[in-house]
Amino acid sequence: MAVKDWAKTDFEYIWHPCSQMKDYEELSPIVVEHGEGMYLYDIEGNRYVDVISSWWCNLLGHCNPHINEEIQKQLQSLEHVIFANFTHKQAIRLCERLAKLLPEGLCKFNFTDNGSSAIEAAMKVSFQYHQQTGNPQKTRFMALSEAYHGETIGALSVGDCDLYTELYKPILMDIVRIQGPDCYRCPYGKDRDNCNCECAKNAEEMFEKYGNETAALLVEPLLQGSAGMKIYPPLYLKKLRELCDKYNVHLIADEIATGYGRTGKMFAFNHARVSPDIMCLSKGLTGGYMPMAIFATTQKIYDAFYDEYNTHKAFMHSHTYSGNPLACSAANAVLDILEDGSVLKKANENALYFNQIIKEKFASHKNVGDIRNIGLINAIELVKDKTTKEPLDSTLRTGYQIYKKALKKGVLLRPLGDVIYFNPPLIISREDMDFVTDVALECLNEILPD
């Protein structure tokens, strides 16, 4: 009997996300058999260190025993139930626990089934709130340059990464675009560790011009992921909070990628010690196990929708898998593991080591322009010229070439353009840190000899 060629069959039927499928003619789909902790194993027995957390969602390692057990237990009692007028203990318990962990004031929770949908729902809530509280002129949204918030039409509209948005601009919403912080190429000649966020001046100008007609500002707190892991200071968030308060604009925090310890604190907004009006969560929420997302908001916003049915103030937005019991059981299992703080504490200790060895290994390379980090996340921006900070020729696809070489050496990297980054599960060991950085440096030197 012939052995099935799984990769060939995949290529015959499956249209993979965020991929130019023609690339798969050269680099066949890698068929994963199983995962354990930091590692993925393909059907040929090859091992890959998953240093990008499988699209930034795998928080505590693949096939975590406790999360596995909790999902299996839940599966024996309830797999799904309509979440309108019906509920279940896993969802109730999850929201009760999150209310104690989130920034102050966030106390009401609405479930969706992916990050883009959570962003979309948050935007609709903000718009509807203003319509129902005497501000019908507030119909627009603000967002930062190079933002990424998802790929539904509303979420894509507030994004600003041309790779995703350029083609669709004729059908996207008209967004007020704030020039976001760029600490590597700061126009004021400052750096992220020594500035007063002078770059917030553009935000002040945009609010002065458009604040009265704006419902909400969406922001990726401290870390703009798809922009190339661009990191900026907490002070910038404080300044945005002040502007939103001044102009009665909601501040929507997209913590889909930054939440759950990724930045060294449970939530990125914790660094700034201010609270958003709405916070969107996904990815680490279920440890990467199940598709689920939540937006959390304040009592004040919730109250604007609370009325008699015939006033038509209810938020008429739903998803079939809202509050799914299996996903909620995974989310509760994640909090079980994180609640005593030991995992995050160890991750922060290891983060210092990780950044240190990355600087030691990469800083002197002639094409390494910037090394930036927050929590366990580290990014290495490759440039053509370190002095001028001129980018590499994007048509050469340098990052992609490094990715392919790293796979052959057992490391799963997925550079953002020409930014090599590490965004590992919180459980990564120092031994794995040594290995993945050694491999990344080898690959860099093979593509761009120092």
CA distance 253 to 249: 13
Instruction: Give the chain's residues under pLDDT 50.
Output: none
pLDDT tens per residue, range 109-157: 999 999 999 999 999 999 999 999 999 999 999 999 999 999 999 999 9
How far is residue 254's CA from residue 236's CA, in Å, rounded to a whole number? 15
Rounded distance between C-alpha atoms, residue 329 and residue 294, angstroms? 14
* Tokens standing for residue 126: 């903000």
Give the closest residue to 214 by CA, choosing from 158, 144, 138: 138
Q: What is residue 3's predicted lDDT score, i.e. its pLDDT? A: 72
For residue 63, the SS3 value is: coil
What six digits make up the tokens of 349? Answer: 């200790």
Asked whether the beta carbons of 262 and 220 are under 8 A apart, the reply is: no
pLDDT at 1: 59
Q: How far apart are CA 228 and CA 160, in angstroms?
A: 12
Residue 223 contacts residue 379 (beta carbons within 8 Å): no
Write down all domains in the chain, each with its CATH number in brackets: 31-63+342-447 (3.90.1150.10), 69-338 (3.40.640.10)
Q: What is the pTM of this model?
A: 0.97
